[in-house]
Amino acid sequence: MTIRAGLVGLGKIARDQHLPAIERTDGIELVAVASRNAQGDGVANYPDLGAMLAGESSLDAVILCQPPQVRYHAARQALLAGKHVFLEKPPGATVSEVDALVSLARAQGVTLYASWHSRYAAAVAQAKTWIAERRIESVDIQWREDVRHWHPGQPWIWEAGGFGVFDPGINALSMLTEIVPEPVTMLSAMLEVPANRDAPIGATLKMATASGAPVAAVFDWRQTGPQTWDIAVETDRGSLLLSEGGNTLRLDGEVQVKAPDEEYPAMYRRFVDLVGDGAIDVDLAPLRLAADAFLCGRHCPTAAFED
């Protein structure tokens, strides 16, 4: 059976990644788009999810690519209509709403997939295997990028529930919680919030693994020039560096993996399998760590920031 899917929110990530990945994936086809402003090519177009659900009675799945603040209502609507649901990351604006979606998906007997694209980066699986055979001594995350380059014209990202610098930072947390084989806890956080915004532009986090190894992270949106998306792990038997957002792996300084980004096709293969198995895949660990940073973090006002 081919999954007949409808996509909501034809923004940057939908165009850059979802449309080409669906095109390349067996077992799923895009039949409709719901967008307030745009039109999908070669598919039925609707102004919103309600109209799409009403107009496409044979739709199997709904892919939600809007900002996190509006995703919960849409996900509920799709699940109540009996559709399988694919959530972009982060899966919601709060932990409680994603928990509620899991219960609803279970009650409806449909698939709910909380995607974490960075976990599908080329070197993550190998990093996980390597770390599993060692004792972690420390982890250092450096996630520094230029918000003006990566998020132009996205006011939602600066509003409450938009995550600010945690929008990219949660990608690091999704990899961290994938490659470290024990729980990671948030100890303290410092969040730098521009005077004219609701969400942080910078964050310094102190975490620890359950067995006590320190995990430090810096997320910064003010980096111009070379961009940095690195996770360094020191162990009792060598060091590991995941860079390029998880697509390059160095062990003791030697490059082991350097591969192009194939994250979204891998996620769509996963979604097709989940629907086939009638399964739910929702791991809240990255979202919980981000939420904990906001809970225990010191909010420090910083200079106003204009796009």
- Residue 270 makes contact with ligand NAP by CB under 6 A: no
Q: Is 9 in the site for ligand NAP (CB under 6 A)?
A: yes
- Which residue, among 45, 41, 50, has the nearest Cα to 22 in the 3D structure? 41
Q: Which of 141, 152, 124 is nearest to 263 (CA)?
A: 124
- Rounded-to-integer distance, Cα 80 and Cα 270, Å: 23
51 binds ligand NAP (CB under 6 A): no
* Contact (Cβ atoms closer than 8 angstroms) between residue 242 and residue 175: yes
What's the angle, vertex CA 168, arms to CA 161 and CA 185, rounded to 5? 80
Residue 62 near residue 31 (C-beta atoms within 8 A):
no
Answer yes or no whether residue 37 interacts with ligand NAP by CB under 6 A. Answer: yes
| Distance from C-alpha of 257 to C-alpha of 126, rounded to nearest angstrom | 9
Per CB under 6 A, the list member of 11, 40, 164, 246 interacting with ligand NAP is 11
Peptide bond into 155 cis (omega under 30): no
Instruction: Decide if residue 7 touches ligand NAP (CB under 6 A).
Output: no
The answer to whether the beta carbons of residues 129 and 183 sit under 8 Å apart is no
In the DSSP assignment, the letter for residue 222 is B
Interface with ligand NAP, residue 149, by CB under 6 A: no
- Write down the least CB distance from residue 117 to ligand NAP, Å: 6
Considering only the stretches 33-41, 189-197, 214-222, 228-236, report the one whose residues sit in contact with ligand NAP under the rule CB under 6 A: 33-41
Cβ 62 vs Cβ 38: under 8 Å: no
Which of 108, 138, 154, 228 lies at the binding interface for ligand NAP (CB under 6 A)? 154
Q: How far apart are CA 113 and CA 63, in angstroms?
A: 10
Assess 119 for contact with ligand NAP (CB under 6 A): no
Q: How far apart are CA 136 and CA 47, in angstroms?
A: 50
User: Closest approach of Cβ 13 to ligand NAP, in Å?
Assistant: 4
Applying CB under 6 A, which part among 3-11, 49-57, 78-86, 121-129 lies near ligand NAP?
A: 3-11
Active-site annotation holds for 89:
yes
The answer to whether 91 contacts ligand NAP (rule: CB under 6 A) is: no
Please identify, using beta-carbon distances, which residue of 25 and 209 lies nearer to ligand NAP: 25
Contact status: 67 vs ligand NAP (CB under 6 A): yes
Which of the residues 89, 128, 206, 258 is marked catalytic?
89
User: Does 263 interact with ligand NAP (rule: CB under 6 A)?
Assistant: no
* Minimum distance from residue 252 beta carbon to ligand NAP (Å): 31
User: Would you state the structure tokens that stand for residue 39, as one six-digit string?
Assistant: 């039109």
Select the residue interacting with ligand NAP from 83, 84, 117, 288 (CB under 6 A). Answer: 117
Dist CA 75 CA 23 (whole Å) = 23
Should residue 244 be labelled a site residue for ligand NAP when binding is judged by CB under 6 A?
no
Please give the DSSP secondary-structure letter assigned to residue 29: E
> Which active-site residues does the annotation give?
89
Q: Which residues bind ligand NAP (CB under 6 A)?
A: 9-14, 35-38, 65-68, 70, 88-89, 117, 154, 156, 167
